Amino acid sequence: MEHAREHWSSRIGFLMAAIGSAVGLGLLWKFPYTVGENGGGLFLIAYILAVVFLGVPLFIAEVLLGKKTQKSAVLAFSYVAPKQGSWKIGAYLGVFASFLIMSYYSVIAGWGMNYVLLSLSGFYTNLEEREIGRAFSLLSGSMSISLFWHFLFTLITMAVVFTGVRKGIEYWSKIMVKILFVLLVILLGFSLSLDGLKEALCFIFYPNFDTFKGSSILEAVGLAFFTLSLGQGIMISYGSYVGEKEDVVKMAAIVGFSVIVVAMMAAVMIFPVVFTFGLQPDSGFGLVFQTLPYLFAKLPMSMLISTLFFALFVFTALTSAFPLIEVVAANLMELFHITRHRAAFFTALATFVVGIPSAAASSGAIFPEWQTLFSSNFLVTIDRLVSVWMIPVAGLVTSLFVGWKMDKSIKQKEFAGYGALFTIWNVFLRFVIPFLIILIIIQKSGVLQ
């Protein structure tokens, strides 16, 4: 049976949902340590340029594809090119990427929920760095605890998607994005008072050519796509809920600007803490769960600061988890003509089951030989599969598809009033973005150093 298509109640509704999707763990967790690993200043400049000139154009393409077809990813491709089914590989890859991301994303977000509870209990008081770091090893190494939080986070996300676009995703995104910004501003204000602020600002904003690598440019492009939720079918689905009169170009610019602002705020929030205590900024994955808790314990009002930080962590995880469930559920609804309730339930159940090996990745309780075979645990392996291959390939196909296969007059209509911007955008979709994505794939696969 056909169901009436839901739409956002307003432009603000779409913007809050899109910003919530973009401002996820990619910015709060991945962005700061990626900046650290790539030397700071010049990488930040490369990232901003990548968002503006590559991320935003592809964002426009994905939202436009959903808006004009009023279909989610898979059927949107079929609608534009009904006799060329091979293009749908990009849609299927994007949707499957969202599915896999949610399967391990909820494990990481669940750890954040655990740290909220640890913070409230005053766990860090009078503990040494080794003991605080060991807490994360115990958490990630406990399959039962990780599964509990994995289940709880998945359940909360499903409950929101279950209630629909306006009453669920839009309603809660509006609330959570506002809370997210309030928490971020509070923590940012605290970081601005630390002794390591000057050193942190120099690291973040001063271009250091000695620490910048050529591969960092491609890393910045990949991170821009990841933080804008591109190549995952998300913005195609979100675009299908946009009304015909909405200005996609303007909305894309607002989302891109918001992502850049939050990325810089996250960096300025975290690195003064790191530099105040003389630690290395390239601490990598352990920065959030092992390094920062130790530093929080040494600060005044440690319980409050730590709780606020990990509450922010969980809120950002939730706002970007909604679309991961939604994009899969929306495609199931259209392809198999099932209700939203069933689609959301089956999607959540499947992501929970597939995520069990990720919850057990550090314990070795499932697939104990995985680390030996793949030189990384199950969670990290799936993350690399998604980020190195699936998202870039899906983004590549989408860019080429909208650039070459979508009717030119339809695209031009969206750029009415923007002068020659359409021509520039179309050239980027057809040539520049595909070229850079291919370079990313080659570089990430180890062929190009």
Taking only the tens place, the pLDDT of each residue in 383-414 is: 889 988 899 999 999 999 999 999 999 999 99
Output the six-digit token pair for 7: 């739409």
* Most confidently modeled range among 201-205, 248-252, 389-393: 248-252
Percent of the chain with pLDDT over 70: 96
Return the higher-pLDDT residue of 341 and 272.
Answer: 341
User: Distance between CA 329 and CA 165 in Å, rounded?
Assistant: 12
- What's the mean pLDDT when you consider all of the chain? 89
pLDDT digits (tens, 9 = 90+) for 110-149: 999 999 999 998 887 777 767 777 888 899 999 999 999 9
CATH 1.20.1440.230 fits 11-444, yes or no: no
Nearest Cα to Cα of residue 384 among 438, 445, 448: 445
Task: State if pTM tops 0.85.
Answer: yes
In this structure, what is the dihedral angle of CA atoms 4, 6, 11, 14, given to the nearest 10 degrees? -150
- Using alpha carbons, list the distances in angstroms from residue 84 to 78, 79, 80, 209, 350: 8, 10, 9, 46, 30
- Using alpha carbons, list the distances in angstroms from residue 347 to 138, 151, 161, 177, 321: 29, 13, 10, 24, 12
Query: Mean pLDDT over residues 211-217, rounded?
Result: 75
Query: Mean pLDDT over residues 368-388, rounded?
Result: 91
Lowest mean pLDDT among 18-32, 246-260, 395-409: 18-32
Per-residue pLDDT, 1: 46
Return the higher-pLDDT residue of 11 and 32.
Answer: 11
Banded pLDDT at 341 (limits 50, 70, 90): very high
